[in-house]
Amino acid sequence: MATITECRSALSRLSDNLARADGDARGAAAFDRTLSCHLTDLDTTFTGRLVDGRIEVQDTVAGPPPGKAQIRLRMTGDDLVAMVDGELNFAKAWASGRVGLEAGFRDLLRLRSLL
C-alpha cells in the first residue's frame, strides 16, 4: 500500500508532467480551479489548486474533503501512484469506477484532453 509520502510525491510528479505538457494538454491544464484528491485507502485528502498547469497542494487533511472543490478526485493511493507512473490508464480506471472524478461540465470538457 502506498504511503502518504509516496502519494504526495506522485502528485508532485504529476504537476511536473502537466507543466511540461504542450498543445491541447497544456491548454486543458492551464486554468485556475480548486482541487481535492481523496485517497480512500489512506482516508486522507490532499487539497489545493490547479493553477497555470501546475498542481499546488496546500493542505493534507484526514478523512474526506472538508469542502467541495471544483475538481474532485477519489482513488486509492496505489492507483494514484500507478497512474502517475503510467501503469494505470486513467480513462479505463474512471470508466470502471476504480477512480472517481467530479467536476463541472465545462471543466470535464477541458480535462478530457488530459485523460
pLDDT tens by residue, 53-78: 889 999 999 999 999 999 999 999 99
| The total number of residues written for the chain in this structure | 115
CB atoms inside a 10 Å sphere around CB 84: 21
Q: What are the grid coordinates assigned to 23, written together?
A: 498543445
Tens-digit pLDDT profile for residues 79-114: 999 999 999 999 899 999 999 999 999 888 887 766
- For the chain, the first-to-last Cα distance in angstroms comes to 24
CA–CA separation, 47 and 115 (whole Å): 20
Record the pTM.
Answer: 0.89
